[in-house]
Chain A
């Protein structure tokens, strides 16, 4: 049985933990709001970009000599997975969920006899995958120490991917990240980047007649600058969603931790009071039985 002093010590330490988790929850909530605003601000650009790409890409994709960024290398042997996680933990299962999806994908692809390469964005993903797949990791990128992720940061990742494509280091590229649905739900998502997915059938028809547009300079020249930018914006969007999701997840996790700490304090306090009462009762019995013995 723990002594009263021990119990007091434990109660105090859990109280301190609760203070910390509560503060972290507040911080996460404030940062979440900022991250969400940033993610929303980026949305119009991505949407317009998609529309232009859809009208342009469909026309060019079927032509021979279409850019690799659009149609890929034509092969399907080497897969590059870009895994986006957070740089920090203490956010529940946030990083683990992405890691688990990535692991499942790697396993599935390798079972099909494909070669897998992994590029991690964010420190936690690298740490998670290194244990099992260290030999597949071709690069690690982190945004540690940055207050907010700028578009240029995402562009740097895109440049890296483009360079690898040009060097023929992979055929298909997908992005694995946590899609932000709401504060409590983040959905680990696997999104194909290269070859660029284009709307087909009805969706393509809905985009409207493409032949109407005049291009200046030519279609290929526009596409050549548009595609890298599209890649960057897709990555940027994933990073922003992941950041927003991270703070959402951290907020939930810290809220739970705060509540758990509260429960624990209640239990320990109850225990403490019982022990105190037991001690008093015992002392009384000792005194009374002592007095009776006389």
Chain B
């Protein structure tokens, strides 16, 4: 089966760079499955899980906390804020992060700008996605 190059980079390192058959990425407007030859796109990501398929089987699942992806017919580059393989996610960490994000959102209140509230809300959603991912793993 045809493949394309999937690259997953976080600010701290290059996590993944190899030929895969399909990748499912958590785009801001819904999960997106990418096959080779996809039309060029730039999308933002929300917190969620990237699934990688090779040789007809799912080989890799990684949690990303948000970021961007650049899709072109022969290549997908995911710029993740942070990325952790599902197996090494810890539930306690995720729970703590949800609590922190929710506290931060409450603290913001109504007098702050909308952009700030959106940012805090995104953090909460991303943290919840991490918790879900940790539970599923």
A interface list, Cβ under 8 A from B: 38, 41-42, 44-45, 48-49, 51-52, 55-56, 150-151, 212-217, 221-222, 224-226, 229, 232-233, 236
Which chain B positions have C-beta within 8 A of A48?
A: 7, 9, 70, 77, 79
Which chain A positions have C-beta within 8 A of B39?
A: 214
Given contacts A56-B42, A214-B39, A225-B44, is CB(A45)–CB(B9) below 8 Å? yes
B interface list, Cβ under 8 A from A: 7, 9-14, 27-29, 39-44, 67-68, 70, 77, 79, 81, 115
In the complex, A217→B42 CA distance in Å?
Answer: 9
| Closest Cβ neighbor of A228 among chain B residues | B119
Which chain B positions have C-beta within 8 A of A44?
A: 7, 9, 13-14
Excluding A42-B11, A49-B79, A222-B44, 11 further A-B contacts by CB distance (< 8 Å) are A41-B14, A42-B12, A42-B13, A45-B79, A52-B70, A213-B41, A215-B42, A217-B29, A217-B44, A224-B115, A236-B11
Which chain A positions have C-beta within 8 A of B79?
A: 45, 48-49, 52
B7 and A216 contacting across the interface, CB-CB below 8 Å: no
| Closest Cβ neighbor of B17 among chain A residues | A44
| Closest Cβ neighbor of B27 among chain A residues | A216
B13 and A52 contacting across the interface, CB-CB below 8 Å: no
| Closest Cβ neighbor of A51 among chain B residues | B70
**What are 7 residue pairs bridging A and B, where the CB atoms are less than 8 Å apart in the complex?**
A44-B13, A45-B11, A51-B70, A214-B42, A216-B41, A216-B44, A232-B11
In the complex, A48→B7 CA distance in Å?
Answer: 10
Contact of A214 among B7, B10, B41, B81 (CB under 8 A): B41
Which chain A positions have C-beta within 8 A of B27?
A: 216
Which chain B positions have C-beta within 8 A of A52?
A: 42, 68, 70, 79
Expressed in whole angstroms, the minimum distance between the Cβ of A239 and any Cβ of chain B is: 11
Which chain A positions have C-beta within 8 A of B42?
A: 52, 55-56, 213-216, 222
Which chain A positions have C-beta within 8 A of B11?
A: 42, 45, 151, 232-233, 236
In the complex, A213→B77 CA distance in Å?
Answer: 14
| Closest Cβ neighbor of A226 among chain B residues | B68
Given contacts A49-B79, A226-B68, is CB(A216)–CB(B14) below 8 Å? no
Question: Nearest 3 CB-CB pairs, A to B?
Answer: A41-B13, A151-B11, A45-B9
In the complex, A225→B79 CA distance in Å?
Answer: 12
In the complex, A150→B12 CA distance in Å?
Answer: 8
Which chain B positions have C-beta within 8 A of A236?
A: 11
Given contacts A52-B42, A222-B68, is CB(A45)–CB(B10) below 8 Å? yes
Q: Give the residue among A45, A52, A214, A236 with the most B Cβ atoms within 10 A.
A: A45
Expressed in whole angstroms, the minimum distance between the Cβ of B24 and any Cβ of chain A is: 15
Which chain A positions have C-beta within 8 A of B10?
A: 45, 151
Which chain A positions have C-beta within 8 A of B70?
A: 48, 51-52
Which chain B positions have C-beta within 8 A of A42?
A: 11-13
In the complex, A217→B27 CA distance in Å?
Answer: 9
A151 and B12 contacting across the interface, CB-CB below 8 Å: yes
Expressed in whole angstroms, the minimum distance between the Cβ of A217 and any Cβ of chain B is: 6
Expressed in whole angstroms, the minimum distance between the Cβ of A205 and any Cβ of chain B is: 17
| Closest Cβ neighbor of A41 among chain B residues | B13
In the complex, A221→B119 CA distance in Å?
Answer: 12
Expressed in whole angstroms, the minimum distance between the Cβ of A167 and any Cβ of chain B is: 12
Which chain B positions have C-beta within 8 A of A41?
A: 12-14
Which chain B positions have C-beta within 8 A of A56?
A: 42
